[in-house]
């Protein structure tokens, strides 16, 4: 059975992200792996000249205890899921090592559907761009990563907005969203973004993208256009106006998001975005 990998550091926001994973797992018919990793520091006491990892043992014991309590809370949430939803089992794991390497190993061993994590601080965009945790995860995964920002719990999944420049790799992201969209019954708004100063996409390419999406036969898709100097502000306003629950971005070195940073608009983006963000790698397996 597929699994949802929930990364936790036991912060309040990590708990918020873990709680969001339960109803998502219920709809996706997936079980949950609740995972905490830590890296010990070289703070050791010495006995007979031999280092003894006292701090490491302390962190390990504390982590296991916290995982136990969090797991029990999530199990209670799972018991409260509506009839007809899958009741996910919850497997708690705790290990020492870098986050990136641990996630890489888990992806090789388990059938991971999605990764869910809380933004450690700041906005979800800031976590995406500057957070070392997210960078470590994104470097080792071809699975979607959902980032929950502080103070913005994911209470439902009814409206999803995808920002795209209609690049071909984004078609796989749309395919993934239509697949899970049938399970959640959410509506999908595809927003074509055009960066200021770039040559507009010709109508033939727009039509080609939409025709490809039409092959997925997903009934609840609408299209919007966002362009101009204040692109991020306009995108945020659109998400507020259409009551989006999640903003979706495609992770690709060559797409509009990376070109945007070169135009020094990143700070505006960081200051205004507080929606949960689902990052879909361009290399996602086409299922």
Residue 283 belongs to a domain:
no
Do 217 and 166 lie in a common domain? yes
DSSP sequence for 59-99: HHHHHHHHHHHHHHHHHHHHHTSPTTS----EEEEEEES-H
Residue 287 belongs to a domain:
no
Do 161 and 255 lie in a common domain? yes
Q: Would you call 165 exposed, middle or buried from its count of C-beta atoms within 10 A (0-12, 13-18, 19+)? A: buried
Residue 162 belongs to a domain:
yes
- DSSP helix/strand/coil, 94: strand
- The per-residue pLDDT for 124 is 47
Residue indicated by tokens 């957070």: 131
Secondary structure in 3-state letters for 5-20: EEECCCCHHHHHHHHH
- The per-residue pLDDT for 213 is 96
Residue 282 belongs to a domain:
no
Residues pairing with 279 in the sheet: 145, 249
Do 136 and 2 lie in a common domain? yes
105-130 pLDDT tens trace: 898 899 999 999 887 655 544 444 33
- The per-residue pLDDT for 57 is 53
- DSSP helix/strand/coil, 200: coil
Do 13 and 87 lie in a common domain? yes
- The per-residue pLDDT for 268 is 47
Residue by residue, pLDDT tens for the chain (287 residues) are 999 999 998 888 889 999 999 999 999 999 999 998 876 544 444 434 445 455 555 556 677 888 999 999 999 999 999 999 999 999 999 887 777 778 888 988 999 999 998 876 555 444 443 345 556 676 667 899 898 888 778 888 999 999 888 888 889 999 999 999 999 999 999 999 887 666 777 888 889 999 999 999 999 999 999 887 777 778 888 999 999 999 998 876 555 555 554 444 444 444 445 788 898 887 776 55
Residue 284 belongs to a domain:
no
Do 96 and 63 lie in a common domain? yes
Do 213 and 115 lie in a common domain? no
Q: Which of 94, 121, 154 finishes a domain?
A: 154
Residue 31 belongs to a domain:
yes
Q: How far apart are CA 124 and CA 118, in angstroms?
A: 8
CATH of the domain at 252: 3.40.50.620
Do 169 and 269 lie in a common domain? yes
Bridging pattern class, strands 45-47 and 159-164: unpaired
Do 111 and 189 lie in a common domain? no
Do 173 and 128 lie in a common domain? no
For residue 173, give the nearest of 248, 225, 107, 258 by alpha carbon.
248
Q: Which of 154, 177, 202 finishes a domain?
A: 154
- The per-residue pLDDT for 149 is 82
The number of folded domains in the chain is 2
Do 249 and 162 lie in a common domain? yes
Neighbour count for residue 107 (Cβ, 10 Å): 17
- The per-residue pLDDT for 120 is 63
23-51 pLDDT tens trace: 999 999 999 999 988 765 444 444 344 45
Do 206 and 150 lie in a common domain? no
HSE value, Cβ hemisphere, 13 Å, CA-based, for 114: 26
Q: Which of 115, 135, 154 finishes a domain?
A: 154
Residue 126, domain extent: 1-154
Residue 80 belongs to a domain:
yes
Residue 28 belongs to a domain:
yes
Q: What is the pTM of this model?
A: 0.84
- DSSP helix/strand/coil, 166: coil
Do 21 and 92 lie in a common domain? yes
């Amino acid at each position: 059975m597929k699994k949802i990998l929930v990364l936790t550091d036991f912060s309040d926001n990590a708990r918020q992200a873990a709680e969001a994973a339960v109803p998502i797992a219920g709809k996706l018919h997936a079980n949950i792996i609740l995972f905490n990793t830590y890296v010990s520091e070289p703070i050791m006491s010495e006995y007979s000249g031999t280092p003894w990892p006292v701090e490491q043992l302390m962190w390990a014991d504390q982590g296991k205890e916290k995982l136990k309590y969090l797991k029990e809370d999530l199990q209670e949430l799972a018991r409260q899921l509506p009839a007809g939803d899958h009741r996910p089992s919850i497997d708690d794991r705790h290990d020492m090592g870098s986050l990136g390497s641990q996630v890489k190993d888990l992806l090789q061993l388990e059938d991971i559907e999605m990764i869910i994590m809380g933004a450690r601080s700041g906005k979800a965009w800031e976590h995406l761009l500057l957070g070392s945790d997210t960078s470590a995860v994104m470097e080792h995964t071809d699975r979607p990563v959902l980032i929950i920002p502080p103070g913005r719990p994911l209470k439902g999944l009814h409206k999803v907005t995808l920002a795209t420049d209609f690049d071909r790799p984004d078609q796989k992201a749309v395919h993934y969203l239509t697949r899970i969209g049938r399970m959640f019954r959410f509506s999908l708004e595809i927003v074509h973004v055009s960066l200021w100063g770039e040559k507009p996409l010709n109508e033939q390419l727009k039509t080609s993208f939409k025709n490809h999406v039409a092959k997925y036969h997903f009934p609840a898709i609408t299209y919007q256009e966002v362009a101009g100097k204040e692109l991020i502000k306009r995108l945020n306003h659109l998400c507020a106006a259409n009551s989006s629950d999640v903003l979706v971005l495609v992770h690709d070195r060559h797409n509009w998001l990376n070109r945007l940073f070169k135009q020094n608009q990143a700070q505006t983006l960081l200051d205004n975005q507080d929606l949960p963000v689902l990052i879909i790698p361009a290399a996602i397996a086409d299922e």
